[in-house]
Amino acid sequence: MATRTWTRWQDWAALVIGVLTALSPIVVATNAAAISTLIVFGVLIALSGLWSLAAPGSVASEYVHLVLGVLLFLAPWVLGFAAFGGAAWTAWVAGVLTVIASGFALPEANAEHRGAVAAH
């Protein structure tokens, strides 16, 4: 089962989630911690989405999505911007959606990886 590059919806979802998260400080109330967190995590999620799109058999990229999603979800409490509703909700929703996308992509990436390893 060879998955073509640039086709998996989960990776496109991660890319879009990352871009929207990085741009969200333009429209939501934030503080300095929230701005940098949303931009940095948004860019990292978008980049890992691009990585997954370019290499659909990369299991590591899906785990990167998973970890980034969990960290983004926890960020409002850990970095102290939970009081900024827009920024906090953006982090929570984007974090959960990133984890969900990763969860759906992991089985496909594992199958693609196993197929690539067996072909060699």
Burial 42-63 (b: 16+ CB within 10 A, else e): bebbbbbbbbbbebbbbbebbe
Q: What is the pTM of this model?
A: 0.92
Of 107, 70, 93, nearest in space to 13 by CA: 93
**For every one of its 120 residues, what pLDDT tens digit does the chain have, with 9 covering 90 and above?**
456 888 999 999 999 999 999 999 999 999 999 999 999 999 999 999 999 999 988 899 999 999 999 999 999 999 999 999 999 999 999 999 999 999 999 998 888 877 666 666
What is the SS3 assignment for 48?
Answer: helix
